[in-house]
Amino acid sequence: MNSVSITGRVAREIELRYTENGTAVTTFPLAVEDNYKGQDGKRPVNFIDVTCWKQKAEFVAAHLAKGNRAAVTGRLNQQKFTDKEGNNRSKIEVVADNVEPIDWANDKQEVAEEDNPF
């Protein structure tokens, strides 16, 4: 089973874009702290790329901003590609099934909860 659940902070401003056929998509890094503290007493942070499609992408772009906390559930996806130097690379991302804002980017929380189809 391919299932993942993470909670963290949006690490940069969210940019909504559209594919050539008009499908909404956004990808943003979520800063997720580990459950343990390192020798320096701080929790290491992992930056996990999250991709949202269609209505989810539009909702996230409208209601989340850099620094907001969010809970994401979805599936892992591995992208394989060749870089400019001809090296084979891969990247793991979370394709979101559900994004729940914990902090809201604006004062429209009541409207956003009604609009959230997820």
Q: What is the pLDDT of residues 75-107, one digit of tens each?
A: 999 999 999 999 999 999 999 999 999 976 654
Residue 109 included in any domain: yes
| Mean of pLDDT values over 17-46 | 92
Residue 93 included in any domain: yes
User: Which domain covers residue 93, as residue numbers?
Assistant: 4-34+44-115
Residue 87 included in any domain: yes
Residue 39 included in any domain: no
The CA distance from 82 to 37, in Å, is: 36
Query: Three-state SS for 21?
Result: coil
Residue 40 · residue 84 · CB < 8 Å:
no
The CA distance from 73 to 6, in Å, is: 7
**Number of domains forming the structure of the chain:** 1
The CA distance from 8 to 33, in Å, is: 7
Q: Which residue has the higher pLDDT, 65 or 112?
A: 65
- Domain containing 59 — which CATH number? 2.40.50.140
pTM of the model: 0.80
Residue 107 included in any domain: yes
The CA distance from 75 to 72, in Å, is: 10
Backbone dihedral angles phi then psi of residue 57, each to the nearest 5 degrees:
-60, -45
> Could you tell me the pLDDT band of residue 7, with boundaries at 50, 70 and 90?
very high
Whether 114 shows a pLDDT value over 80: the answer reads no
Residue 13 included in any domain: yes
pLDDT at 106: 59
Q: What integer best gives the mean pLDDT of the chain? A: 88
Residue 8 included in any domain: yes
